[in-house]
Amino acid sequence: MAKKWTALLLLLQLLSHLETGQAIWFPWYFQRYGLEPHSSRHGGRNKITCPPGYEFRSSTTLVPEPKTDLCNDNPVLQQLARLYVVSPERIVLLLSQPSLTDSCAEISDVLDKIKSSMENCVLAPDNLYGRLADGLRYFRTEVCAGGDGSNWKRCTGLQNSHSCLRELRTDMIECEAPADWYERQNETKVCHIYNDVLDCYYTRAALLCGLDSAKQLRSFAADAMGRAMVHKCKVNKRLPRVDNAMPEASGSEAGSKAMFFNCFIFLCILINF
């Protein structure tokens, strides 16, 4: 009996001097796997099977290290300049281009070149050009690629009303806020201007293209501009009241009515003179 206790004490003393990584925990380990430390089984020539629960976890699948170097934003600026995207509103203005197909092709080329310039680096989260690029990516997804499904109806509506939106170009430019407004530090002021621009889009579009097109334009502008801004602004749910909104029409009919409306305004100005 005394010999058994002596052997047990010797075993406990041996275990107390072993490192945790050697994983020698139970007496049966000695009988089956010997006294070689478990940690030495990997990396050497020993091909002995590991005991149950101590299988080696492969380290061949390496997680790539995150990119931490900050990019020079000049290449991004140069690409955005090709589309005259110098503010969040200019992303929305791309809807008024003569051909959405041609615009989408150039947008894709611009974004691909921006991606190439950032292969080994990242832009700071608050980089203004990086935010504008995010808004441009949203335009490509929602307008050029047909949306992600949740906004399919809006995407279809914008495509159908494109003829009218082309005639709205001057009005959309007049809705733009003063230069660099979205760079201000005062979030309350920035968000107030942001909602003013959205309401202006809605009012002008309602008069020329109809209420449905105005709602779709305002909704898209809110999402696209929001992604291009550092501040996160809440969109006012209350829509401006628009009297004498244009009845809903589609395609070329909407564009013809918009042109007629512009000619009518021009004649009124001449009469007043």
Question: pLDDT tens digits for 52-75?
Answer: 555 555 544 455 566 678 888 999
Looking up tokens 């020329």 gives: 208
87 lies in some domain: yes
233 lies in some domain: yes
Claim to verify: residue 225 and residue 256 sit in the same structural domain:
yes
**Which residues, 6 or more positions from 106, have their beta carbon under 8 angstroms from its beta carbon?**
82, 83
Residue 199: what residue type? D
Q: Look at residue 185 and tell me whether its pLDDT is greater than 60.
A: yes
First-last CA distance in the chain: 123
184 lies in some domain: yes
Domain boundary residue, one of 56, 84, 100: 56
What pLDDT shows up at residue 102? 95
Claim to verify: residue 119 and residue 241 sit in the same structural domain:
yes
What pLDDT shows up at residue 153? 86
User: What is the overall mean pLDDT for the chain?
Assistant: 79
Claim to verify: residue 150 and residue 253 sit in the same structural domain:
yes
Full domain range(s) for residue 25: 20-56
Number of domains within the chain: 2
- For residues 56 and 50, the answer to whether their CB atoms sit within 8 Å is yes
5 lies in some domain: no
65 lies in some domain: no
141 lies in some domain: yes
What pLDDT shows up at residue 235? 96
Claim to verify: residue 133 and residue 227 sit in the same structural domain:
yes
Q: Look at residue 263 and tell me whether its pLDDT is greater than 60.
A: no
Question: Which of 18-27, 107-116, 138-147 is the least confident region?
Answer: 18-27
Question: CA torsion, points 233, 237, 243, 249, in degrees to nearest 10?
Answer: 90
> 70-120 pLDDT, tens per residue?
888 999 999 999 999 999 999 999 999 999 999 999 999 999 999 999 988
Closest CA to 46 of 17, 59, 37: 37
Claim to verify: residue 147 and residue 33 sit in the same structural domain:
no
1 lies in some domain: no
Q: Look at residue 218 and tell me whether its pLDDT is greater than 50.
A: yes
Q: Look at residue 214 and tell me whether its pLDDT is greater than 80.
A: yes
- Cα–Cα distance measured from residue 165 to residue 100, given in angstroms and rounded to the nearest whole number: 11
What pLDDT shows up at residue 254? 47
Q: What's 160's DSSP letter?
A: H
Claim to verify: residue 184 and residue 268 sit in the same structural domain:
yes
Overall average pLDDT of the 10-28 stretch:
53
Claim to verify: residue 129 and residue 44 sit in the same structural domain:
no
Integer angstrom CA distances of residue 196 from 172, 202, 206, 243: 12, 10, 15, 18
Q: What are 260's two structure tokens?
A: 């007629």
Closest CA to 228 of 172, 176, 182: 182
Neighbour tally for 188: CB within 10 Å: 9
Question: Which of 21-25, 41-45, 92-96, 201-205 is the least confident region?
Answer: 21-25
Claim to verify: residue 47 and residue 98 sit in the same structural domain:
no
Q: What pTM was computed for the model?
A: 0.67
The pLDDT-based confidence of 19 (bands split at 50, 70, 90) is very low
Claim to verify: residue 117 and residue 186 sit in the same structural domain:
yes
